[in-house]
Amino acid sequence: PVTVSLKHVRKVFENGTTALENFSLDVRQGEFVSLLGPSGCGKSSALRIIAGLSEPSSGTVDWPMADAAGLQHELGFVFQEPTLMPWASVFSNVWLPLRAKGVSKSAACDRVMESLATVGLEDFAGHRPQELSGGMKMRVSIARALITRPKVLLMDEPFAALDEITRFKLNNDLLQLQERFGWTILFVTHSVFESVYLSSRVVVMAARPGRVIQDLAIEAPRPRQ
């Protein structure tokens, strides 16, 4: 089944920049799709439109399997900048999405610790983000995205700011987690390696205006244990 479907999406910003032109994409349940293309080709614009953070100028975005009310719980976002609250503990940062829904600290405790365990940070709940490495901050950011148990993950160059070894480790962890939870993932990257290594499908974009030029099925390699 199709999880999200974009048809003939066009995005023109107020200053006249056309970021997307005739952008169509169907993402099916359980797919790991990479959106690959050079800087400025419209990848983030497309992801923000899918996330509901930005409106298309024309064209449609449909979620055939979800009603509008249920969608919030189904989506997890991870951005390149972890955007963690530096003064708050790792625990409080991960708790935030549940706190926003009125879940108390004690009621959220099990879920927060589970989420931290999922990314291997259960021993760091009391630390502050500024005490952690870049890779660990990214793991906290992922744990926060997982706290609502989303079915769909939208990731915008999540590992771009990390060194290659950390990035490779996180790539492997992400593959294992996707296998375990069956997420549908849309992953924005400008790395050819990352797209081919991670995805079951690579959607290649070109710039000016942003559009899809190739849609390639990939047999993803399994991570090394």
Long-range (24+ apart) CB contacts under 8 A made by 176-183 are 176/223, 177/118, 178/32, 182/30, 182/151, 183/30, 183/32, 183/150, 183/151, 183/152, 183/153
Is the four-CA dihedral 88, 180, 175, 170 of positive or negative sign? positive
Residue 115 or 199 having the CB closest to ligand ADP:
115
Binding segment for ligand ADP (CB under 6 A), chosen from 12-20, 25-33, 64-72, 158-166, is 12-20
Residue 101 or 149 having the CB closest to ligand ADP:
149
CA dihedral 173, 174, 176, 180 (to 10 degrees): 130
Q: Which of 4, 19, 75, 186 binds ligand ADP (CB under 6 A)?
A: 19
Q: Does 181 bind ligand ADP (CB under 6 A)?
A: yes
Residue 42 or 82 having the CB closest to ligand ADP:
42
Radius of gyration in angstroms for the set of CA atoms belonging to the chain, rounded to a whole number: 17
User: Please, what is the minimum distance in Å from the beta carbon of residue 76 to ligand ADP?
Assistant: 7
CA dihedral 1, 201, 53, 81 (to 10 degrees): 140
**Smallest Cα–Cα separation from 115: which of 147, 92, 83?**
147
| Binding-site string for ligand ADP from residue 100 to residue 139, where x marks contact by CB under 6 A and - marks none | --------------xx-xx---------------------
The packing angle between helices 105-118 and 90-99, to 10°, is 120
Binding segment for ligand ADP (CB under 6 A), chosen from 35-43, 59-67, 120-128, 195-203, is 35-43
Q: What is the DSSP letter of 58?
A: E
User: Please, what is the minimum distance in Å from the beta carbon of residue 15 to ligand ADP?
Assistant: 5
Residue 2, strand partner residues: 28
Q: CB–CB of 94/144 below 8 Å?
A: yes
CA distances from 40 to 10, 18, 96, 99 (A): 15, 11, 31, 35
Q: Which of 149, 176, 214, 215 binds ligand ADP (CB under 6 A)?
A: 149
Binding segment for ligand ADP (CB under 6 A), chosen from 14-22, 80-88, 98-106, 211-219, is 14-22
Q: Which of 27, 31, 34, 45 binds ligand ADP (CB under 6 A)?
A: 45
Q: Which of 2, 8, 13, 120 binds ligand ADP (CB under 6 A)?
A: 13
Q: Which of 146, 152, 175, 185 binds ligand ADP (CB under 6 A)?
A: 146
* Residues within the interface to ligand ADP (CB under 6 A): 13, 15, 17, 19, 37, 39-45, 114-115, 117-118, 146, 149-150, 181, 210
